[in-house]
Amino acid sequence: MATTKAREDIKNDLKTLKEDIKVGAREEGERLRARAEAAEARLRNKADEVRGQAEAYYEQARVRGREYYDDAAERFDEAQRYLVERVQERPMQSTGIALGIGVVIGMLIAGRRH
């Protein structure tokens, strides 16, 4: 009988140990799940922060690009007006200069072909 009692005690101990392991595993799983959720939330927050910064940089670059474009367009218009005024003041001289530049460019292009 002592052997049967010892076996029953061992079975009960094993059963209790098995249940304790199940509870421990369940608790550890819950802790891991909570940590994963917290890490995911931090990652989402960081992604939102980076997205916000990228949008701000894009907007800043867009505004600067527009400013540069407007400035360049204005300078181009000024240069064009200046050139038109000079040509109108001295049409023969302007025609001669344009002809000379055309000849030089033609010679450079023809020189490359040979």
Length of the chain: 114
What is the per-residue pLDDT for 112?
74
The per-residue pLDDT for 82 is 92
> What pLDDT score was predicted for residue 114?
60
Rounded distance, CA 21 to CA 24, Å?
A: 5
Q: What is the pLDDT of residue 87?
A: 87
Cα-atom radius of gyration of the chain, to the nearest Å?
A: 42
Of the CA atoms within 13 Å of residue 24, those in its CB half-sphere come to: 6
Q: Where in the chain are the domains?
A: 2-113
How far is CA 7 from its chain centroid?
A: 67
Model-level pTM? 0.49
Residue by residue, pLDDT tens for the chain (114 residues) are 668 888 898 998 899 989 989 999 999 999 999 999 999 999 999 999 999 999 999 999 999 999 999 999 999 999 999 989 988 999 899 889 889 999 999 999 988 766
Q: Tell me what pLDDT residue 94 has.
A: 86
**CA torsion sign, 81 to 86 to 89 to 92?**
negative
